[in-house]
Structure 1
Amino acid sequence: MAQSPINPSPSPSTAPSPNPSSPNPSSPNPSSSNPSIDTSTNSYQPATDGLGRDSMTLSQHVLQQLNNFGPDAQDLSAIMNRIAFAGKLVSRRLTRAGLVEDALGFTGRQNIQGESVKKMDSYANDVFISVFQQSGLVCRLVSEEMDDIYYMPESCSISRYTLLYDPIDGSSNVDINLNVGSIFALRRQQGDDTDQTGADLLTPGHEQLVAGYILYGPSTVFVYSIGKGVHSFTLDPSLGEFILSSENIQIPEHGPNYSLNEGNMWQWEESFRDYIRYVHRHEVYSGRYSGALVGDFHRILMQGGVFLYPGTTKNPAGKLRLLYESAPLAFLAEQANGKATTGDHSVLDVKPDHIHMRTPLIIGSREDVALVESFIQGRKLEQPPAPLGVSSI
């Protein structure tokens, strides 16, 4: 568990900026004082449509999405702003990673999965902790980099939310300046969790309120859904704001990209080897694999195709963690008319048995996921259905 989270600067106020076109309440209202003025006669008409799109910030968009969401809307909006602020801090660190000390390389310790922890893993994890400490917005944090649930007692008396996240996905790419990302999901706490087991978190992915990711690349991109479509924002460094770049994204029914680590081919079940032989024989497919789940999924989201991380003889349950990797992206995929499966079940139907449970993942365009499933079904032996998910740390 992180012991000494960093202390970033406080997040800028999330209060809406004053509208320069709005009259000052203390000043006379020109319209009311002279009702004979007809503004429709103005010879100049501002290009409101273009300006509105170019200036739609993440904060504004979230508030629109949360309209009629109920009493939770204000808290959810504030939580999203905090996540975005954490993303800005991580993005700033990554852009200077080759210039500052303790940004590259390993920490010398391992996480609960037995993976060596990179310095950026630890930094980004501490950023998320620091951004939410004493915020009163979330009670619990669940992270790939922490063995157990991280409780915030000062917030638990007033907050009913849990943030689950992978602070840096694809951290092996950091030292060579390739894409990495952060994945997150938000869940509402059920019960008091007085025994601090987090048992209420062990529910299927349909229970997620919000899911999204931040992609750190040539530009920093924030993608999210609250169950009303998938939307993408690009960080404008000159403004320090995430600005709307794509709204209501739809994954194409079919795409040309397949993404998986073919170095594991001889550890897969034969059905996946059959699939690879098939795509190798068809020129319409191109292999694209970056080593960062977020980057590969973003390509699939925008262009179509399929990402696969099947189980292997070494890790039958695959490598990806359900609660803060597979389930959030599955939520996004299905909101964007895509599909996500373990090969046997919808990812969003899988009930975890512990917070770090792994699961295989096949995600992307509906037709391309269905093609992979056809190879799996074609190789299946006559046997009882497998249980939902496979537990493995």
Structure 2
Amino acid sequence: MSRMSRRSLLTATAGAAAGLAVAGCGAGDSGGGTERTGEPSGASGAHGPAKTVTLIGDGSTAHTGKQPNQPAVDRLEPGQTPPQFVIFSWDGAGEVGNGLFPRFRKLAADHGVSMTFFLSGLYLLPEAKKLQYAPPNSPLGASDIGYLADDHLRMTLDNIRRAWQEGHEIGTHFNGHFCAGAGSVGRWTPADWKSEIDQAKAFVTSWKTQTGWHEEEPLPFDYEKELIGGRTPCLLGQENLLPTASALGWRYDASSPGGNQVWPSKKQGVWDLPLQLIPFPGHTFEVLSMDYNMLANQSHAATSSDPRNYPYWRQQATASYIAGFERAYQTNRAPFYIGNHFEQWNGGIYMDAVEDAFTYIAGAGHGDVRMVSFRQFVDWLDAQDPALLDRLRTLEVGQRPAQGWKGFMTLPAPVPASTTPSSAAVA
């Protein structure tokens, strides 16, 4: 399929998901300032005029101008049906030679849409330098996820470069992924989260120093400006993360341990964008909209089980994602969030299910569907009339507006102020 043209967030047509993530890469002051001319490695599209690249710090990142492939953000008018937003996101976002990162970048490119990649900071820190990491309440260098081999670190850098150039968002999945015991992120204080975030940013912005690969191309963005949200390990610790996220100016958090398919609100000034409970075919209960939660209910957290189950499990996972999408699309148009990992659990069926669901959602017949990143979505939210958003939040899961969208989204006319002079004004 040819790559579709970028559109305004409010002018997508059937079968096209409009708009890629907006990510500011301005000329702010974040470090060093070596200038050179050229195009960062991994840039996509036709060759245009050469860009000025201003290196930041040790040259691991750089200012390269506005992020490519960005749409305008429009504002809902009274009486207008809201678009159906769908956000695919990836926890960890490293490439370990299994081809999953480029596979889903290509899928997004084929449909002209964007995603969010939550990068684990440790994926840019060589294992030989692991003692540079000081996780809260754990020994130096400890991590519940593995450090990447050098060739996989290079692959990850290449995919992150290309992803940003293609219009995707680079968020954070923090570092050591501690989910249990005394070091669990669920026990962290706001100060612990501040330390973790500072370190995650440092690993992204100093990978040249840590690896010694000074001749490599920089990441083409200023991470201090790019990073506006993340998802915590195992969806733990949001309560104590939010004060720190708010103080850092983060605009959203995707770490809530489960929500419903309704329009979002803010917590402590930060948009709360949780994974959602969605129908789970064959069961009376619902499942969180993430690949691991499908696995946990199908093979009881075993990542490799009887292959004879794989075809049905793939079909069931696909049907669950599609049911979640259709429930929102046909009723309250609540944004739909899907979380994933670049993993080959149970023979890779969850990657196949995600692709199947993605292709269905992006397919013909679904008008005004917007497959965007979290950053793009909060740009849209922040551009809306708060009164219209308040009205959307009154719709429950699976609830259609009784009077239709035009009537529901038409705000009553304001009551004019009285023209009768006050007693104080009468002389």
Query: TM-score with structure 2 length normalisation?
Result: 0.26
Q: Which has the higher strand share?
A: 1
Query: TM-score with structure 1 length normalisation?
Result: 0.28
